[in-house]
Chains A and B, each alone.
Chain A
Amino acid sequence: MTTTTTATVTPPAETAPAGPRASWAAVLALAGFEARRLLTRLPVLLAFAVYIGWTVWRTRTSYEGFPALQDADRATQTAPLLVGLAVLLSVNQAVLRARRYDTERHFAVLVLPPWRRTVAHLLSLVPAVLLVAVCVGGQFGWEALKPGALGNGSPGELLAGPLSVLLLGTLGVLLARLFASAFAAPLLLVVLLFFSLFAAMPREGDATRWLMPVVGDYSIRTLPSELLGRPAAWHALYLAGLALSVALAAVLVSGEGAGARSGSGSGMGRVLRGRFVGNRGVHAGLAGAVALTLLGAVMQTGGVPAETEKARTRYSTAPQELQKCVERDGTTYCAFPEWTSRTDDWAEVVDRVKSLAGDAVQDRSLVVRQRVEARYGLTSDAAMDPLTAPNQVSVGTMWGGNRVPEFAVAVAGVLVTGKEAVAGTLCDGRLVTVMWLALAGGSDPLSDLRDIRVDDSTSGSAVVVSQTEPLSMTAAHTELVRELLDRPREEIGAKVTAHWDELTTPEVTTDRTAQLLGLDAPEEADECQE
């Protein structure tokens, strides 16, 4: 009986007596209702709360207040996946709702054929996706408005988050149209999670990893934006195409038969129920969307382009060709084009260190050169070789937090030893002077000392982190540096200036340094680690 009713009341859409306009108005009305419901489902609300809460919590202190926007755009991608999972689940439940409460046959007498109801469910995803887009924009905007922000974001990277939510949502609709059972969606979620887990294993040059919605390259250091070599735009195209394909496939499989058979028992396991929709537009759209997806999928697997590789080598080996240099108070600062606004922050540290040494170093003209090791890609942790030219200091691409005292140590090392390459192998009394110069000017020298030491200690021997070669402090050095930091800055500064020549000769021992600076000889061991 149900079937008869369906056949007479809802003829194929093309000849619907109600006229296409009334029908689309009904679709929009249904979409609006479903969108409201979707946004107020508990999982979606919860996911949004966790997503927004976590994002706000993290963005407050992210990048130590000095974000590079080419990293910040990528950081917006992973968290929306949580919303996507909740949307998938909820939209799937919404599409199956009529079947769950056995109201499918009531819908069958309405003007809307099942495929238009599917369209309405797909449209109901739009507000959720837009909300995610707003959140992503907000997160990125916040980073961009931080005073220390620099670099360039990429629209392709920013789109990945909202598009993944759209993709997951359309998957939920398609799944509901393919499998009427309620356990399909949660199980699909686990499968997706499982695959993301395995795809998360970083394998450079593996093209298939770009098939995942979000491809995170968790770089330890920031690269200039033109060296990233990520096919962000193609990936966004791939995601958009895939979401569109899945959406149109969901419309395609919700033919007349899909709705009318609600009475068929529990309905589980009917793999492909319903007939296909005969609408030409849907077929053509699906073909176009699949073509887009394939185009994006193929183009994004190209790997790092040759010119990017060339540029990476150029940036790594000959930075001076690309940099702009400015001179300030006798020091030259050479930065990559995207980093010129950071010169002030570097100058502050250099001036602080120089002022501690006083007149002894006032006429030394340093060159602060920004450097980056980009040849090994985004995820490598390759250290830079120290500079061998005299009076040159390396500075990396990141700033804020521990990078500041690290840079201060590099500056002090060059001031004391003359060359960065020498400072890296330091194991005599000069190291005490270097560390005092680097740390004493800071607001909290002891915590800076802890931060730059690998084991976060303030006593005993330890390795000091650096952008180039790490330094190693003996227990005696640490003891002296701590004693120096406890004393008034001016008193020690005067002694350093007075004995500068003797303190900076390579022959000076730790005991002699202590004597010159007015301290007792250190009690702890003075053995360098090799």
Chain B
Amino acid sequence: MPGVSGDTSGAAGAWRALVRPVVRTLPWRAIGVAGGLGLLFAAAPRLLGEDATGRLALNALRMSALAFALGAAFLLDDPARHTTAAVPTRRAVRHTLRLAPVVPVAALGWTVALLLVPAGVRPPVGGVTLEAAAALALALAGAAFAVRRSDSTRPGQAVAGALFTTAVPASLLWPERWALFVAPDDERWAAAHDRWTVLLCAALAVWAVCGAEPVRRRIGGGLGSRS
């Protein structure tokens, strides 16, 4: 049907038309600073030279992943959010468009971070990358949740704060039965990374669910109400 094909070409056109302004409004500064910090953390074991141990390198990489994730928490900060709420392009599409340019940057940054760690003390690449991806996905899910549940145009700081204040106690107090933060030589490494996979999938699911614009918005409710 001509109408349908017209619609799709229109959607593709809209996508193409949206890419440039969306890329322009991305919080590149936050992402850049956080990424730079993450790379700095990852470089620490190399700077320490002989003193670096596997444990320290793993911690440095985890901190690096946390820094990347904190940068990603600002991804959905969009001062123009309320003006674009009425456009025909769905929010899920807009969110995906915001995410798309960041993913290669994050992948590149993480690759560099991994390479910065000396090969001798580098933890298993797959496992650490999974942890980093889960952290990133949690940050994104938090941002999407905040956007869905509140009217705030800049939920980034609250999300980053929540992520950070959860990550620190979690790494200290997480119950041993469901251990997440384990060392590579630990026998629970594989089981822990199954849990990380579950976490990653759950976070991605939250991101996807929260990507939809709510049918009806409660007035003044939810997170980040005017303070």
A interface list, Cβ under 8 A from B: 37, 42-43, 46-47, 50, 54, 82, 85-86, 89-90, 93, 96-97, 100-101, 181-183, 185-187, 189-191, 193-194, 197-198, 201, 266, 268-269
B168 CB-CB contact with A under 8 Å: yes
Give the Cβ gap from B151 to chain A, nearest Cβ, in Å.
12
Q: Which of B27, B63, B163, B165 has the most CB of A within 10 A?
A: B165
Q: Can you name the residue of chain A whose Cβ is closest to the Cβ of B37?
A: A187
Give the Cβ gap from B62 to chain A, nearest Cβ, in Å.
9
0/1 per residue, B157-171, Cβ < 8 Å to A? 110111111001100
A189 and B71 contacting across the interface, CB-CB below 8 Å: no
Add 16 more A-B contacts to A37-B227, A183-B30, A190-B63 (CB < 8 A): A43-B165, A47-B165, A47-B169, A82-B165, A82-B169, A85-B165, A86-B165, A97-B227, A182-B157, A183-B27, A183-B29, A183-B71, A187-B34, A190-B37, A194-B41, A194-B60
On chain B, the residues within 8 Å of A82 by CB distance are 165, 168-169
Contacts A183-B74, A187-B67; is A43 near B37 (CB within 8 Å)?
no
Contacts A183-B34, A183-B74, A186-B70; is A193 near B168 (CB within 8 Å)?
yes
On chain A, the residues within 8 Å of B41 by CB distance are 190, 194
0/1 per residue, B64-104, Cβ < 8 Å to A? 00110011011001010000000000000000000000000
Q: Can you name the residue of chain A whose Cβ is closest to the Cβ of B51?
A: A201
B44 CB-CB contact with A under 8 Å: yes
Q: Can you name the residue of chain B whose Cβ is closest to the Cβ of A43?
A: B165
Contacts A181-B29, A187-B34, A194-B63; is A89 near B70 (CB within 8 Å)?
no
On chain A, the residues within 8 Å of B71 by CB distance are 183
A268 and B168 contacting across the interface, CB-CB below 8 Å: no
Give the Cβ gap from B198 to chain A, nearest Cβ, in Å.
23
On chain B, the residues within 8 Å of A97 by CB distance are 227
A197 and B63 contacting across the interface, CB-CB below 8 Å: yes
Q: Could you jot down 16 A-B contacts, CB within 8 Å?
A: A37-B227, A43-B161, A82-B165, A86-B165, A93-B157, A100-B154, A183-B29, A183-B34, A183-B71, A185-B161, A186-B160, A186-B161, A187-B70, A190-B70, A194-B63, A269-B29
B226 CB-CB contact with A under 8 Å: yes
Give the Cβ gap from A102 to chain B, nearest Cβ, in Å.
10
B70 and A93 contacting across the interface, CB-CB below 8 Å: no
On chain A, the residues within 8 Å of B37 by CB distance are 187, 190-191
B59 and A190 contacting across the interface, CB-CB below 8 Å: no
Give the Cβ gap from A328 to chain B, nearest Cβ, in Å.
43
Question: Size of chain B's interface in residues, with CB distance under 8 A?
Answer: 35
Contacts A183-B70, A266-B79; is A89 near B169 (CB within 8 Å)?
no
B164 and A85 contacting across the interface, CB-CB below 8 Å: yes
On chain B, the residues within 8 Å of A43 by CB distance are 161-162, 165
B156 and A190 contacting across the interface, CB-CB below 8 Å: no
> Which 3 residue pairs of A and B lie closest in terms of their CB atoms, listed nearest first?
A182-B157, A186-B160, A183-B30
B115 CB-CB contact with A under 8 Å: no
A89 and B165 contacting across the interface, CB-CB below 8 Å: yes
Q: Which of A82, A96, A187 has the most CB of B within 10 A?
A: A187
| Distance in angstroms between the alpha carbons of A181 and B34 in the assembled complex | 13
Give the Cβ gap from A249 to chain B, nearest Cβ, in Å.
22
B154 and A182 contacting across the interface, CB-CB below 8 Å: yes
B33 CB-CB contact with A under 8 Å: yes
A193 and B63 contacting across the interface, CB-CB below 8 Å: yes
Give the Cβ gap from A161 to chain B, nearest Cβ, in Å.
16
Contacts A185-B161, A266-B79, A268-B29; is A198 near B70 (CB within 8 Å)?
no
Contacts A100-B154, A183-B156, A190-B67; is A89 near B164 (CB within 8 Å)?
yes
On chain A, the residues within 8 Å of B74 by CB distance are 182-183
Q: Which of B33, B79, B157, B161 has the most CB of A within 10 A?
A: B161
A93 and B63 contacting across the interface, CB-CB below 8 Å: no
CB-based A-B contact count at 8 angstroms = 88
Q: Can you name the residue of chain A whose Cβ is closest to the Cβ of B53?
A: A201
B interface list, Cβ under 8 A from A: 27, 29-30, 33-34, 37, 41, 44, 56, 59-60, 63, 66-67, 70-71, 73-74, 77, 79, 154, 156-158, 160-165, 168-169, 173, 226-227
Q: Can you name the residue of chain B whose Cβ is closest to the Cβ of A268?
A: B29
| Distance in angstroms between the alpha carbons of A276 and B151 in the assembled complex | 36
On chain A, the residues within 8 Å of B63 by CB distance are 190, 193-194, 197
B162 and A183 contacting across the interface, CB-CB below 8 Å: no
A54 and B173 contacting across the interface, CB-CB below 8 Å: yes
Q: Can you name the residue of chain A whose Cβ is closest to the Cβ of B162?
A: A43
| Distance in angstroms between the alpha carbons of A190 and B66 in the assembled complex | 8
On chain B, the residues within 8 Å of A54 by CB distance are 173
| Distance in angstroms between the alpha carbons of A90 and B33 in the assembled complex | 21
Give the Cβ gap from B200 to chain A, nearest Cβ, in Å.
21
Give the Cβ gap from B68 to chain A, nearest Cβ, in Å.
10
On chain B, the residues within 8 Å of A194 by CB distance are 41, 44, 60, 63
On chain A, the residues within 8 Å of B66 by CB distance are 190, 193
On chain B, the residues within 8 Å of A85 by CB distance are 164-165, 168
B30 and A190 contacting across the interface, CB-CB below 8 Å: no
| Distance in angstroms between the alpha carbons of A399 and B59 in the assembled complex | 35
On chain A, the residues within 8 Å of B77 by CB distance are 182
Give the Cβ gap from B143 to chain A, nearest Cβ, in Å.
12
| Distance in angstroms between the alpha carbons of A50 and B60 in the assembled complex | 25
Give the Cβ gap from A198 to chain B, nearest Cβ, in Å.
7
The 8 Å CB contact of B226, one of A37, A86, A101, A190, is A101
Q: Can you name the residue of chain A whose Cβ is closest to the Cβ of B30?
A: A183
On chain A, the residues within 8 Å of B30 by CB distance are 181, 183
Q: Can you name the residue of chain A whose Cβ is closest to the Cβ of B36?
A: A187
Q: Can you name the residue of chain B whose Cβ is closest to the Cβ of A89?
A: B161
| Distance in angstroms between the alpha carbons of A266 and B27 in the assembled complex | 11
Give the Cβ gap from B214 to chain A, nearest Cβ, in Å.
22
On chain B, the residues within 8 Å of A42 by CB distance are 162
On chain A, the residues within 8 Å of B156 by CB distance are 182-183
On chain A, the residues within 8 Å of B226 by CB distance are 101
Q: Can you name the residue of chain A whose Cβ is closest to the Cβ of B70?
A: A186
| Distance in angstroms between the alpha carbons of A256 and B167 in the assembled complex | 38
On chain B, the residues within 8 Å of A189 by CB distance are 164
Q: Can you name the residue of chain A whose Cβ is closest to the Cβ of B223?
A: A42
| Distance in angstroms between the alpha carbons of A79 and B79 in the assembled complex | 37
Q: Which of A42, A96, A269 has the most CB of B within 10 A?
A: A42
On chain A, the residues within 8 Å of B79 by CB distance are 266
On chain B, the residues within 8 Å of A193 by CB distance are 63, 66, 168
On chain A, the residues within 8 Å of B163 by CB distance are 186
